[in-house]
Structure 1
Amino acid sequence: MGADRQGGHRRTPGRAAAYAACGVVLLAGCASMPDNGDLRGVESTPRQDTQVRVFAMPPRDDAPSSEIVQGFLEALTSDDPRYSTARQYLTPRAAQRWEPESSTTVLADGPVTRASQSDVREDGDDSSYTLTGTKVAVIDAQQSYTPASGDYSQTMHLTRDKKTRQWRIDALPQGVLMGRSDFQRNYMSVNKYYFASDTTSAGSGQPMAVADPVYVRERVDPVTQMARSLLNGPTSRLRPVVRSSFPTGTALAKGVTALAPDDQNKLTVPLNDKAARIGHAKCDEMAAQLLFTLQSLTPTVDEVELRGGGRQLCVLSDDRVTAVAERGAETSPDYLYFIDGRHRLLRTTGNGGSDAAEPVPGALGDGSKPLRSVAVARDEHSAAGVSLDGKALYVTSTAAGSLLGEPVLQSKGKAESDRLTTPSWDGQGDLWVADRDLAAPRLLLLEKGAGQPREVLTPGLDGRINAVRVAADGVRIALVVDKDGEQSLLIGRIERDASADQPTVSVQELRSATPDLEQVTAVSWAGDSRLVVVGRETGGVQQVQYVQCDGSIPETGTLPGLTEVTSIAASEDSDAPLFATSEEGLLWLPGGSGWRTLKETASVAFYPG
């Protein structure tokens, strides 16, 4: 499940009652694997309703070694909070050393087990099995998701207890292992929130909230899991560019083992003494982090009270959180923008065409300069347009009577395809664009859309940038990169270093967000940690799907298909409808139905940003 799942809407409090009536499924360790050394797959548990709890069965007496292995692997996919049943399949020493929280390895299917041919005799005292499969992803100790590939192969050793004569596992890989379907049933993606270290909102001056997606076990007290994860700090990938308002060392108060909102959807969080002396403004930021983090969970949290040192520190409700910090998903665009057949910039209210489109006031909407692409600033007061030939970048106001002026940037690329990409604005009001000039390809930044363009360092970039999309938080950037004819989507971290004599901006740790797609043709941010992507797999047809910025795919990832898509328009505010352009013109995707063609002619459509 995606962190921006269900279009980013909160789940309703009504689901809370469903947990009380949920069913229970027992996973029994059964003798389904032969002892003759043949290959046998450990079947993934069939998908269950998300409200169904799944528990494992302990090992039965005199179970053969094959059944012990099978039962242990099945116990890993249960809802046992501390894997206590799984530990019963281990020797006491192995149970003490095993650290299931260290990692979760996800395989395409359930792990295949092979008994060593020399260890198949059940009358002996030792046995070993090899676990194999194809890796899909790894969840690390910080609960961060990373796509993976290649073969998995690890050995599990068993011994027979000298007194009880029962088989138990005495050596095994650290962490948890399961197939993809079990992972999707057990885990969900949730955003925890921190604040950008070096950027603030251009409009309000408030801290910019940054989503840090992690995977947690869905039916193992996710509220408490997420609170602890938030207090533990950001994942290593975002740590260099975000901060937490919680003082270092802050944790839940001693003795607090579970958190739950009351019947008014208020969550009280007792903290240790590290937070006892914080000021009210800092406390509000801490509460905002918790509110943003917990709002996608069930039951819904509408108010947070923080306590420390035996007293109330602060209370923050949902209707006040926007006065404390700015979050991309909380900002609704006023208009959808598009370029029409006359290469002018037009806008509409974005409600599916019930309101007629109109030219944007000012120079970009009057048709005096034919446009190839445009990006409108997030405050919608200014815009940056690229000329039809791709050579020149202009920045101007969207107010009536504004003039175009001289270009702020010009490309020397010889061919149109080797010139400027579509620009992109971040929430701080800075403008990003790539120059695809074969002689000097560069990623460029214009602070506040003006001044001398600054070249952005891109260590590790292998290929040429085809498209740039900066997240509202200003610390993450999506790049469509062309290498040897293949176009992939990479997500990187934006680092700003003002300490040196010459301040630098760089994009670090570029990672693929679409490892299964070889041709990405369009992309747009569609939530705090989610993007919508148009692309195709090797030998496949073009598809439109949601992806998480960590490379995972939410359950509702695939959208109705389109052909020959030239652009896709989504907003961090998931209430804003999805638009696209193709050879058929401007299209609109109402919730739960197929694409509809609108009357406007458009070559590209987009929301602010």
Structure 2
Amino acid sequence: MTTTRRLGAAVAIAAAVACASSGCTVIPVSGPYTVSEVGPGDPLTKSFQRMIAIPPEPTWGPDETIRGLQAAMAAYPDDPTILPQYLTSEALGKWSPSGPVTVIADAFEVVSQGPRDDRGAVEKYEVKAQWVASIKEDDSYAPTAGPWDRPFELVKAQGGGYRVRSLPTGLLLTNSDVTRAYRPTNLYYMSGISQDKFVVDRVRLRLKPTESFAQTILERLLKPETAALEGAVTTSFPAGTKIESIRWSGEERVVINLSGPLDPLDLSVEHSLAAQIRYSLSRNEVAKGRVIEVQLDGEPYFVDRPESDEGWLDDSGDSAYYVSKGAVHYMGKDGPAGVVPGPAGEPHDGYSNYTLSKEGNSAPLVAATTSTGISVAGLTPEGQWQEVIQGTGLTPPSWHEDGSLWTYDTKNGFLLRYDPASGRGPERVSAPKLQGLDVTRLRIARDGVRVAVTTGKNTVQIGALTHDVSGTMLGNVQSLTTTEVDRGILDVAWADDEHLLVLAGSKAGQTLTQINVGDGETVGIPLEYQLTRLAAAGGRVLAEATDTKDRTKVVELNQDRQSWTAKIEKDAGTPLFPLG
């Protein structure tokens, strides 16, 4: 087995040529081109580069042919005419572009496997690369790791060159192809639990030369949510809704014309529809700061102004607290700010894993683990500690934005929900995907839908609270990250509705990473202290830190996201945000 030479570019890539989003024509002379697609000053578009592939050349060998085929795959959604020219009629009849898009590292090898038969009529090759990700048919982006290798069969073509006789189904793109032509995009759907909350759904959308990015976003918003949120969210767009046109009218107004079974007299739909459109556009830096005028069949429907912030994303509050000697304290901007009223502000032994409910019209509740279960107290002078869930194998409690308290009973394999408003004991919630797993933590996001679950010592999974006629269930569970065998997960905390902070450590040291739960994008955060607990909200990150003498303090990540500042220097730990 021999390896053909590695080519940084098997065929020349010309310098990018600027052209407007209306399109331009380029005559290739030596290989596939990337062509810039831009919309100067247009708030509805995104600049990007479009691949223009060329047919196989008679002088190309197998390596160049396979690389040209891969470039044709990158160009296929915009121009499907080039790729078939690389295939034999047999391959063309079997190959399909459907299915997940495979994303590999830019540097890949074409490895010869020798002739397939005695006559050498069929030559077999293998493409070897590092597997980066898959873009699934619902547009979700799933990072992967490890090697990727697949067989390709080639035959010599009449007139010179090669054609591909056999290849894996689906499109094969490099990481650079995806960076060039796709954009991470946040779509917003309504929570299936609370209709006044929105949940972000992260997808990868391909930019199209034939339409503005604003239209691409809204066309995708008309489709169902990704599998990660299936059954957990709803939409204001009734089935059959269409985007007839989107145009930029003047400097400050975007006009969207819809058609379909919308009721112009239903103000509740108008309200949520406006928020879905506003967030899905502006949070992706499209039409940001513009007035959005929505028409229905060309007639005025409603006008949404950029200052209309309904607080649909997160109104849980960012007041900070901490625990000292078992007592809950307020935390000011620069240090201690006093003890909370009532028994929750008094020292207690044997209480741990404190967590706070959402702030609202009434004082929040604090929950904590004891030796016999989970107890709750109000942050008021008359508040009393009351055991609400009994058990000795319970995960640290987590508050839901609807006011309920959740934990997982590891001894019996039950997910439990306690509603203080009902006055009844905890109820069981179905969680079939957790059966048989070693559940160690369960943290509900502030959107009230996503749930982070740690299992064993080093795995984080993400699920969603789904709803159907049978009730609520924790479903859609899928792996988010797994640390090395010798590194255990010490704590997790929701930074916001789409990012999870993961603290991991071993004898060799600790790591703190922020992971986008929608696409796995990971950012490392430098550490200056030995951390044990995390809390985050509103862009702030607090942590319990220990020094060399095992004394605890509360530290805060600075705005530069590179350094930390000690906020409570002595006898302080377990930093808390409401729902954090």
Q: TM-score range by the shorter chain?
A: 0.7 to 0.9
Q: Distance in 1 between matches of 2:27 and 2:438?
A: 52
The one-letter code matched in structure 2 to 1:386 is A
Report matched runs for 1:317-466 at 5 Å: 317-322=305-310, 326-328=312-314, 331=315, 333-340=317-324, 342-349=325-332, 351=333, 353=334, 356-367=336-347, 371-379=351-359, 381-387=363-369, 389-399=370-380, 401-411=381-391, 413=392, 418=393, 420-436=394-410, 438=411, 440-448=412-420, 450-461=423-434, 462-466=436-440
Offset at 1:545? Answer: 1.0
The one-letter code matched in structure 2 to 1:421 is T
Offset at 1:429? Answer: 1.6
CA-to-aligned-CA distance 1:469-519 (integer Å, 9 cap, x gap): 10122222111122xxx231111121345x45xxx5431232111134552
Gaps of 5+ in 1: 1-16, 32-49, 201-205
Offset at 1:209? Answer: 0.9
Question: Is it true that 1:174 corresponds to 2:169 in the alignment?
Answer: yes
Q: Distance in 2 between matches of 1:219 and 1:534?
A: 39
Q: Distance in 2 between matches of 1:166 and 1:99?
A: 23
CA-to-aligned-CA distance 1:397-418 (integer Å, 9 cap, x gap): 223x12214311232x3xxxx4
Aligned twin of 2:453: 479
Match of 1:582 among 514, 524, 545: 545
The one-letter code matched in structure 2 to 1:479 is V
Secondary structure in structure 2 of the residue aligned to 1:229: helix
Report matched runs for 1:78-477 at 5 Å: 81-82=78-79, 89-90=86-87, 100=97, 102-107=99-104, 110-118=107-115, 127-148=123-144, 151-159=147-155, 162=158, 165=160, 167-169=162-164, 171-180=166-175, 183-184=178-179, 186-197=181-192, 199-200=193-194, 206-217=195-206, 221-253=212-244, 256=245, 259=246, 261=248, 264=251, 266-275=253-262, 279-302=266-289, 303-322=291-310, 326-328=312-314, 331=315, 333-340=317-324, 342-349=325-332, 351=333, 353=334, 356-367=336-347, 371-379=351-359, 381-387=363-369, 389-399=370-380, 401-411=381-391, 413=392, 418=393, 420-436=394-410, 438=411, 440-448=412-420, 450-461=423-434, 462-477=436-451
The one-letter code matched in structure 1 to 2:542 is F
Q: Distance in 2 between matches of 1:343 and 1:234?
A: 43
Q: Distance in 1 between matches of 2:165 and 2:512?
A: 47
Contact map agreement 2:63 2:110 (CA 8 A) in 1:
no
Contact map agreement 1:336 1:605 (CA 8 A) in 2:
yes
Question: Is it true that 1:61 corresponds to 2:89 in the alignment?
Answer: no
CA-to-aligned-CA distance 1:236-274 (integer Å, 9 cap, x gap): 332212211111122322xx5xx5655645432222334
Identical-residue share of aligned pairs (%): 22
Q: Distance in 2 between matches of 1:161 and 1:265?
A: 57
CA-to-aligned-CA distance 1:298-339 (integer Å, 9 cap, x gap): 34434433223221222223332517xx213xx262411211
Q: Distance in 2 between matches of 1:443 and 1:563?
A: 34
The one-letter code matched in structure 2 to 1:424 is S
CA-to-aligned-CA distance 1:4-53 (integer Å, 9 cap, x gap): xxxxxxxxxxxxx9999xxxx9999779xxxxxxxxxxxxxxxxxx9663
Q: Which moved more, 1:285-294 or 1:214-223?
A: 214-223
Q: Distance in 1 between matches of 2:274 and 2:176?
A: 35
Q: Distance in 2 between matches of 1:333 and 1:26?
A: 57
Q: Distance in 1 between matches of 2:29 and 2:555?
A: 50
Secondary structure in structure 1 of the residue aligned to 2:302: strand
| Corresponding pairs, count | 529
Q: Whose RCO is larger (CA < 8 A, sep 6+)?
A: 1
The one-letter code matched in structure 2 to 1:549 is V
The one-letter code matched in structure 1 to 2:354 is V
Q: CA 1:581 to 1:86, structure 2 compared with 1: closer, same or farther past 3 Å?
A: farther
Question: Is it true that 1:509 corresponds to 2:493 in the alignment?
Answer: no
| TM-score normalized with structure 2 length | 0.79
| TM-score normalized with structure 1 length | 0.76
Contact map agreement 1:27 1:78 (CA 8 A) in 2:
no
The one-letter code matched in structure 2 to 1:288 is A
Aligned twin of 2:11: none
CA-to-aligned-CA distance 1:269-288 (integer Å, 9 cap, x gap): 22233447573321332221
Contact map agreement 1:280 1:314 (CA 8 A) in 2:
no
Secondary structure in structure 2 of the residue aligned to 1:248: coil
Q: CA 1:96 to 1:506, structure 2 compared with 1: closer, same or farther past 3 Å?
A: same
Offset at 1:542? Answer: 2.0
Q: Distance in 1 between matches of 2:545 and 2:208?
A: 42
Report matched runs for 1:16-31 at 5 Å: none
Q: Which moved more, 1:125-134 or 1:377-386?
A: 125-134
Q: CA 1:421 to 1:264, structure 2 compared with 1: closer, same or farther past 3 Å?
A: farther
